[in-house]
């Protein structure tokens, strides 16, 4: 209860428009689906994937940096990294292990996968979509440990899409179907409160000072 009172107090520092924006965006956020990028070389590709996740309501992005450690390209992400949670891993194994502990199935995205076309994908299963390096694709480790494979049907001479384009197509499709379903896909009440605190902290100046002042008076 005290946390809620603090939260309500902190929200007095926000404009009504900002509070309403937070409310609407959080109502559409999900952890039912998440995305993992595996050693993506081009900085703008990871940044663009993060931007797509924000646009389609994906709250968490998992970034494996076993080989290529890169900072996020702020210009291309256009501030999305401020609102999306980034989980970074030094190895593919640690990423997969953590995702499995959270109940995710591992979905390998590949133009050569023989399992599911995108249109047939079962959205009821909590899933993490893995995207690999620009030229090599996903590592053998991801392919070996994947629970499911997913491909975007293609009918031209080109056999692959840029990973950021692939991520946007897949996320648009699965989140659209998800929102029309009866799946319990939204954030929990605890998660909503945590994100309200997090986003307020990233929005108002002197956050720590304001919190200390409040706590000294209550």
- The reply to whether 34 falls in a domain is yes
Q: What is the average per-residue pLDDT within 48-69?
A: 88
Report yes or no on 71 lying in a domain. yes
Mean pLDDT, to the nearest integer, of 146-170? 86
In a domain, 22, yes or no: no
Q: Which two tokens stand for residue 179?
A: 């929102």
What confidence score (pLDDT) does residue 84 get?
93
Residue 1 pLDDT level (bands cut at 50, 70, 90): very low
Residue 211's pLDDT is 93
Domains in the chain: how many in total? 1
pLDDT at 151: 86
Q: Which domain holds residue 126?
A: 30-185
Interstrand relation of 127-131 and 105-109 (parallel, antiparallel or unpaired):
parallel
pLDDT band at 177 (very low <50, low <70, confident <90, very high): very high
For tokens 């090599």, the residue is 136
Q: What's CA 174's distance to the chain center, in Å? A: 13
Query: Does the pTM exceed 0.95?
Result: no
Give the number of C-alpha atoms closer than 13 A to the C-alpha of residue 171, restricted to the C-beta side.
Answer: 32
100 falls within a domain: yes
Q: CA nearest 144: which of 88, 102, 106?
A: 106
CATH number at residue 34: 3.40.1280.10
Residue 16 has pLDDT above 90, yes or no: yes
Is residue 141 within 8 A of residue 39, CB to CB? The reply is no
CA distance 138 to 132: 4
Is 143 domain-assigned?
A: yes
Alpha-carbon 86 to chain mean position? 7
- Distance, in Å, from the CA atom of 210 to the CA atom of 107, rounded to the nearest integer, reads 43
Q: Determine, yes or no, domain membership for 70.
A: yes
Mean pLDDT of the chain: 88
Q: How many helices (H) and strands (E) does the chain have?
A: 10, 7
Residue 17 domain-assigned (yes or no): no
Domain assignment of residue 68, yes or no: yes
**What confidence tier does 136 reach under pLDDT thresholds 50, 70, 90?**
confident
Tell whether the model's pLDDT for residue 78 goes beyond 60.
no
pLDDT digits (tens, 9 = 90+) for 38-49: 877 677 788 889
């Amino acid at each position: 209860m005290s946390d809620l009172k603090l939260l309500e107090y902190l929200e007095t520092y926000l404009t009504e428009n900002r509070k309403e924006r937070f409310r609407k965006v959080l109502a559409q956020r999900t952890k039912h689906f998440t995305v993992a990028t595996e050693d993506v070389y081009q900085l703008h590709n990871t940044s663009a994937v993060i931007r797509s996740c924000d646009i389609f309501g994906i709250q968490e992005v998992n970034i494996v940096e076993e080989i290529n450690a890169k900072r996020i390209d702020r210009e291309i992400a256009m501030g999305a990294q401020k609102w999306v949670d980034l989980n970074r891993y030094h190895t593919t194994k640690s990423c997969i292990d953590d995702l499995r502990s959270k109940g995710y199935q591992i979905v390998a995205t590949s133009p050569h996968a023989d399992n599911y076309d995108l249109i047939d994908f079962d959205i009821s299963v909590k899933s993490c979509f893995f995207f690999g390096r620009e030229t090599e694709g996903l590592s053998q480790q991801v392919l070996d440990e994947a629970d499911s494979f997913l491909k975007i049907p293609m009918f031209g001479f080109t056999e692959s899409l840029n990973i950021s384009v692939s991520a946007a197509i897949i996320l648009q499709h699965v989140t659209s179907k998800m929102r029309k379903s009866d799946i319990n896909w939204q954030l929990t009440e605890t998660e909503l409160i945590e994100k309200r605190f997090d986003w307020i902290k990233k929005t108002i100046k002197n956050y720590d000072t304001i919190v200390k002042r409040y706590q000294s008076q209550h």
